[in-house]
Each structure stands twice: as structure tokens, then as C-alpha cells.
Structure 1
Amino acid sequence: MTGTHPRRPAPDRARKRAIRALAAELGVAYSVAARLLTSRSGGTVARRRQRFPTGGGEHRAWMFATREQRSFHSRVLDTRTAADLPIGRAAHLVRRFPPLAVASGRLYDGNGREAALAMLYAVVAHESTVPLPTADELAWVAELGEETAVDVTCAALDRAARALLDDDERWRLWPRVEAALAALGEAADRRGRDAALTLGRELRSTSLRSALVGVRHILDAVLVEPFDGSPPGARIRLDGRDGTVLGARWARTGPPVGYEVRLDGGNAVRIVSRDDLDLTPV
């Protein structure tokens, strides 16, 4: 006897870390987060209410309805992609939140969104601004077939990537991207080096600045969901008038502190506190 205790299996450790991450994100007890993450019926991750606006048109409605009816095998394939950093998760989110036409223009749009989002993830990983999910965590959560569970695991990463798009950070973004890709190109992991080559080609050959607004919409949409907030494109009511959410405003932690809103018939974008906004869909 050595007096040592066997280490818990990696999936069990990963699950506990995922629960702790959700508890910290929502500001609830560990036990509450565990119930949210896992249903009582035997391990199926509970799905949160989806509020992403699907827009008009029968084809678009059919597309979203079909996605909700995916088989478990198809959902696992999607979540494996969603847990593959940096390029896989970027590709998953771009497919999950396609361009949306609203009265004031198009949201979630712009050429190169996938590459731009993957570059943001590379910057966060390089600068180590937040603890990144481990390979064990990502592998475990990917096999659940629930994208919400992957979102919980990647919440800190997504939030740090979103912070890079705030107005006071964007002006110095591209030198940070170049530094991150250079470091990724020296990684011991072959997949990391391949990702650096792919993203480096995109950075040199494509103007990605126009994609950043669409990437901002995507990250706002995935981040508001745990707080039952309204993503870009959601229809809301303010001061008795209908309008459209164009974006969210964030503090360092917690739910969105406000929203960017354009009222129907107007051109101005208003910054509205979340407490002053009627988020009941209209």
C-alpha cells in the first residue's frame, strides 16, 4: 500500500469543471448548476430555450426546424466540431448563427467570419487571459451531443474573444493576431501548426475587418443565452415602440449590462440598460 488514492477518471473531473464553470457564469450554487447541466432522466444535458431569431420565410423556418430534429449522431458530430479549438468552434458558430436580414440591414454577416473568429480564439489562447478548457473537458463534453454544454465549457473563452471586439480594444487587434499566429506556428502540436498556416493565409489574403461586426453578433448571441437574454436581431419593445436588438454590452462578468437597440423607423442606435428594456419578444 502506498497510501495514495487513485485519481478520478478524466470524464468525471471534466464534468465537475464544467459544472463549476456554469455555476460561476450564472452566479448560482454548484448543485443548481449541476441540475441545469444534467437532467434527472439519466444524463441528458438539458436544453435551454432557444431565442435566436430565425427571420421570415418558409425556407429559413424549415432550416431551423430541421436543425432541431437532428439525430443524436449528427448532434455529436456538431459538438465535436464545436469543441475543436480554434477553427472548429469558429466554423460551428458561424453555421449555427447564419446571416439575418433585418429592417436596418444584415446581422451575423461579413466575409471571413470563420477565420476572424478563430483568430480571436488564438489571441485569447496566446495571451492566456482566461483559463482555457482542457483537452479532457472538451473531449468529454463533445460526446454529449449538446452544443449548450460545449458553450458552458467554452464560456470564458467566448467572453474573452468578445472583449477583444470592444471599441477600446479593436484598434490594436491585428498585431495581436499576428503574434498569436506566430506562436501557434511554433506549437508542438501538429494540429496547432496546421491551424496557424490556414489562418495565416486568410490573414494575408482576405480583408477581415468587415467580418468583425458579424463575429460580434455571433458571440453576443451565444453569450446571452445562459442569461435568457436577447441576441442581435431579437425584436423588443422600448417606450411603447418596437425595435431590434443590434448588440449587447458586457461587464467583466455576469449578464449583459445593456443592449444596443434601433427603434423601427429610426436611424439612431440607443444604448439601453437591460433593466429598462422589455425583452418580451414582439
Structure 2
Amino acid sequence: MTVTRSRRSVPDRARRRAIRALAAQLGVAYSVAARLLEQQTRASLPHPSLPHPVDEHRAWMFAAREQRTFHSRVTDTRLAVDLPLGRAAHLVRRFPPMRATGGAGPLYAGDGRETVLSMLYAVLLHESPHRLPPRDELAWAAELGEETAVDFTCSDLDRAARLLLDQERWRLWARVDAALTAASNGTDRHLRDAAVTLGRELRSTSLRGSLDGARQTLDAVLVSTFGGDAPGTRTPTGIVTAVTWSSDGPPTGHEVATSDNVGAL
């Protein structure tokens, strides 16, 4: 006799893994960990008056991050101040792809998103080293274990990286190539090794499909500091897909996807 068993959905399996991991981390019962994650998930959802396409897997990932130990938080923030590669890796982990977008298309997507972000930071380290916060300030912010403190410290750098994506793409790639060439021939071993790694990616991988995801990632981290609606936020007119910025201050506008088109808010 053959018994057919249906596999649980991916979000359900991810939820159970997140609960088990949290229970082990906190030393509490599975049921207690489940309630904690449920509370975090509900708190992260928008107002019920605005129906929202919920990506359950992403919601559980956010909830699990909120339950990290202080040691784990410090490990993450130390990575977040390591430029150019570390901050890019941190942001990609922090803002995972959004699968349920209510017809707005992929958000925070692209296999090369981390590489694109790393290249943007490499350009700024080459062209505008004055934008890099002092090392002692970065180290102090990292040891707090608070992402918001690191975001505030790196906000000028993050904004400059975001604005690089507003220029014509061929100009961007030329600047990336120049920055990586300079770093690979430089004396800073850390930057030289990063440039060699990124140079291989630039010449062997198509990164075009990851540019929007990188833009949305930087939009999200800047919104956490300066306010506004991050990509994926449901508004009365549609779902935010991008944020527009000036050289300083809060957002100057939002691009919103409706059921028919994309418009400015």
C-alpha cells in the first residue's frame, strides 16, 4: 500500500525552523517561541485598513532577527561597518527578497544585489573617501549592536550610493571599473582583495537584473533613518516600488505600482 504525503508549504517549514531556532536561542519551550514570533509578525504588519500582500517567509525572517542575542547583533553590526563588502552583505541579509508583492513585480530581488551594492561603495571609497565616517566612529557604532546607530553613521555614504543609481547605467559601469582598477593597484590590501573579487564579478556576471533590487535595498535603509515608505509598503494608491531622494533630507517622492501602471506619489 502506498501512502502519499503532501509536503508542507515553504513558508510553513520556514516558520517551524524559525520557531525551533528561537526556542534553542532563548532556552524556552517551542510554544513560547511560537507566541513570541507571532507577536513580532503581527506588530510588523500594516494597518488592517490597508490590505497587504503578506510574504509569510519574509515576515518570519524579520521576526527572527528581532530575537537575536546581543552577541549576534554585534556580529551583524560589525559586518555592517566593513566596507565595501561587509555592509553590502549585511543589507542584503537584512532586506531579503519580497515574493508577495500584490502584482508590483519583484522587490529586493536579484542574485547580484550584494555585488552591486559592494561596487557602489567601492566607487565612493575611490571617488569620495571623505564620505567615509571615521574608523573610531564606525567601531563605536558597531559595538552598540544597534543597526539604527550604524545606519545613522553611514547615512551620508548610503545616500551617495543610492544616488549613483540615478545616473545613466553606462556611466555607472565606467565609474565602477575605474574604482576597481584603482583599488586593485592600490596599497590597501583589504580594498585590493575586495577589488579583485568584484572585478571578476563585473566581467563574468550580468548585474543588470539586480540594479532595481539594490536601489530598493538602499531606499529601505535610508527610510529607516529619514522616514518615508520603504519599497513594498502598501499605500491607498498602490504599492511603493521605489523612493526618490535629493542630496539631503527626507524623501522627495515615491514611485507606486497600481494594478495598471507605476506612478509618482
Is the pair's TM-score, using the shorter chain for normalization, greater than 0.5? yes
Amino acid of the structure 2 residue aligned with 1:250: W
Tell me which residue corresponds to 2:228: 229
Q: Aligned-pair distance for 1:219? A: 0.4
Amino acid of the structure 1 residue aligned with 2:225: P
Q: Aligned-pair distance for 1:225? A: 1.5
Tell me which residue corresponds to 2:163: 163
* Partner SS for 2:208: coil
Q: Aligned-pair distance for 1:51? A: 7.0
Q: Is 1:90–1:117's contact at 8 Å kept on the other side of the alignment?
A: yes
Amino acid of the structure 2 residue aligned with 1:223: L
Tell me which residue corresponds to 1:70: 68
Tell me which residue corresponds to 2:257: 262
Structure 2: segments with no counterpart, 5+ residues = 1-42, 47-51
Structure 2 counterparts to residues 32-181 of structure 1, below 5 A: 56-101=54-99, 102=101, 103-128=103-128, 131-166=131-166, 168-181=167-180
> Residues 58 and 179 of structure 1: is their aligned pair in 2 closer, same or farther, counting only changes over 3 Å?
closer
User: In structure 1, how many angstroms separate the alpha carbons of the residues matched to 2:116 and 2:225?
Assistant: 24
Q: Aligned-pair distance for 1:129? A: 7.2
If the length of structure 2 is used for normalisation, what is the TM-score?
0.77
Tell me which residue corresponds to 1:33: none
Structure 1: segments with no counterpart, 5+ residues = 1-49, 273-282
Q: Is 2:112–2:210's contact at 8 Å kept on the other side of the alignment?
A: yes
User: In structure 1, how many angstroms separate the alpha carbons of the residues matched to 2:230 and 2:206?
Assistant: 26
> Residues 126 and 151 of structure 1: is their aligned pair in 2 closer, same or farther, counting only changes over 3 Å?
same
1:14-63 per-position Cα deviation (integer Å, ceiling 9, x unaligned) = xxxxxxxxxxxxxxxxxxxxxxxxxxxxxxxxxxxx97989625443322
Q: Which moved more, 1:70-79 or 1:179-188?
A: 179-188
If the length of structure 1 is used for normalisation, what is the TM-score?
0.72
Q: Is 1:51–1:230's contact at 8 Å kept on the other side of the alignment?
A: no
Tell me which residue corresponds to 2:12: none
Identity %: 62
> Residues 137 and 158 of structure 1: is their aligned pair in 2 closer, same or farther, counting only changes over 3 Å?
same
User: In structure 2, how many angstroms separate the alpha carbons of the residues matched to 1:52 and 1:118?
Assistant: 30
> Residues 232 and 58 of structure 1: is their aligned pair in 2 closer, same or farther, counting only changes over 3 Å?
closer
Q: Is 2:151–2:225's contact at 8 Å kept on the other side of the alignment?
A: no
Moved over 6 A (4+): 50-54
Q: Aligned-pair distance for 1:171? A: 3.0
> Residues 162 and 129 of structure 1: is their aligned pair in 2 closer, same or farther, counting only changes over 3 Å?
farther
Report the count of equivalent residues: 216
Amino acid of the structure 1 residue aligned with 2:74: V
1:206-257 per-position Cα deviation (integer Å, ceiling 9, x unaligned) = 111111110000000011122331100000113xxxx100111111111011
Amino acid of the structure 2 residue aligned with 1:142: A
Q: 2:264 aligns with which of 263, 271, 274?
A: 271
